[in-house]
């Protein structure tokens, strides 16, 4: 009996430690957490300590710039979206609260605190057995795996099933990150990385299938409307900063905002498309020495079969620095609001 009681107390202590760890990670956020991870990773692969320190600080500074810019700009874009809903007379029973609130709900459940250590351990195991080539350093976004654990726990009350759901999600996401790594490295110019980001790579199979179907449609399939193509055809009008200004102005006009508010939104969106790529360039500069050293040491190791191992990073900031993604997202705002007029959608 005393042995059982002692065992229960030990388990409770371990859970409390993990809970405190989760609270600390949530409080730190990517801007403080990623430099620590990068610094530890640099030391573990025996990169020079001064280079490691510089890389870690560059990664942290880049995230400071990225999130400061996003918070400043998206706040004003959010006002425009709310104005659109008001002008169009939308009366909805629910609203998308965004990922911060969802992450908060996720970590509020006790079972999810185990996802961070368990997820990292499973990642190392899957690397060792050859299931994935991604070493996921994006610990902050483990909450996306934990979210599935939270849902399963709410439905079943079972810790085992909840953690099983998180592990399955992780395994699928890591495999998809490997699958899309070559494309994302070339397109976003982030060599040696992948995006084990559930909100991103889980859409990849659908995106590839839709793209393949559209390419077979006459006329539409031959269109080339990438930012580079637009810049070649339209000269200055196709430049990301000008394109951002025009798109911001477009949604402001739809929202019937004042001249000042419309001008503000347009300039802020232009700033987003102009400044974010510079922040991402800092991120890449910080990661590059770590990625090169990690790849050199790991890929020369017999433990991983000589295959290339890539570093998993957050897809969100990288995608927000891409003109195509931002412009498409902003243009789709009126479309997304328009869906609320369809009977049965509220």
> What's the first-to-final CA gap in the chain, in angstroms?
55
CB 192 within 8 A of CB 292: yes
Confidence of residue 174 (pLDDT cuts 50, 70, 90): very high
Helix (H, G, I), strand (E, B) or coil at 224: coil
* Whole-Å CA distances, 31 to 28, 38, 212, 277, 320: 7, 11, 37, 17, 16
Residue 311 lies in a domain: yes
Residue 289 lies in a domain: yes
Least confident of 144-158, 234-248, 308-322: 234-248
Distance CA(227)–CA(249), nearest Å, equals: 18
Whether the per-residue pLDDT at 8 is higher than 50: the answer is no
Range of the domain at 64: 2-341
For 265-269, what is the mean pLDDT? 86
Both tokens assigned to 235: 């000269």
Confidence of residue 2 (pLDDT cuts 50, 70, 90): very low
More confident residue, 23 or 264: 264
Q: What are phi and psi of 195, to 5 degrees?
A: -120, 85
Q: What are phi and psi of 69, to 5 degrees?
A: -65, -45
Distance CA(314)–CA(59), nearest Å, equals: 12
Question: Percent of the chain beyond pLDDT 90?
Answer: 9
For 254-270, what is the mean pLDDT? 86
Q: How many domains does the chain have?
A: 1
Residue 346 lies in a domain: no
């Amino acid at each position: 009996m005393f042995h059982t009681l002692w065992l229960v107390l030990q388990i409770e202590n371990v859970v409390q430690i993990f809970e405190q760890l989760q609270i600390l990670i949530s409080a730190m956020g990517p801007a403080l957490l990623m430099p620590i991870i990068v610094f530890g990773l640099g030391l573990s692969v025996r990169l020079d300590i001064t280079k490691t320190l510089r890389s870690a600080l560059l990664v942290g500074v880049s995230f400071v710039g990225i999130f400061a810019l996003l918070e400043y700009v998206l706040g004003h874009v959010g006002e425009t979206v709310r104005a659109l809903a008001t002008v169009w007379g939308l009366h909805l029973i629910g609203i998308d609260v965004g990922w911060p609130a969802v992450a908060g709900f996720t970590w509020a459940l006790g079972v999810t605190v185990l996802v961070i250590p368990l997820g990292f351990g499973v990642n190392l195991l899957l690397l060792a057995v050859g299931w994935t080539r991604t070493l996921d350093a994006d610990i902050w976004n483990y909450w996306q795996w934990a979210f599935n654990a939270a849902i399963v726990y709410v439905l079943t009350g079972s810790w085992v099933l909840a953690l099983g759901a998180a592990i399955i999600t992780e395994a699928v996401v890591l495999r998809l990150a490997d699958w899309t790594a070559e494309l994302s490295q070339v397109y976003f110019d982030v060599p040696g990385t992948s995006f084990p980001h559930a909100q991103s790579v889980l859409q990849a199979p659908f995106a590839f299938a839709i793209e393949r179907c559209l390419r077979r449609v006459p006329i539409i399939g031959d269109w080339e409307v990438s930012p580079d193509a637009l810049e070649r055809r339209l000269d200055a009008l196709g430049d990301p900063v000008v394109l951002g200004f025009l798109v911001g102005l477009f949604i402001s006009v739809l929202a019937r905002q004042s001249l000042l508010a419309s001008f503000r939104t347009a300039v802020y969106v232009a700033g987003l498309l102009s400044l974010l790529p510079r922040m991402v360039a800092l991120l890449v500069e910080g990661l590059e020495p770590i990625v090169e050293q990690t790849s050199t040491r790991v890929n020369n190791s017999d433990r991983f079969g000589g295959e290339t191992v890539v570093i998993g990073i957050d897809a969100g900031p990288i995608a927000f620095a891409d003109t195509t993604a931002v412009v498409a997202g902003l243009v789709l705002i009126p479309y997304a609001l328009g869906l609320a007029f369809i009977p049965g959608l509220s």
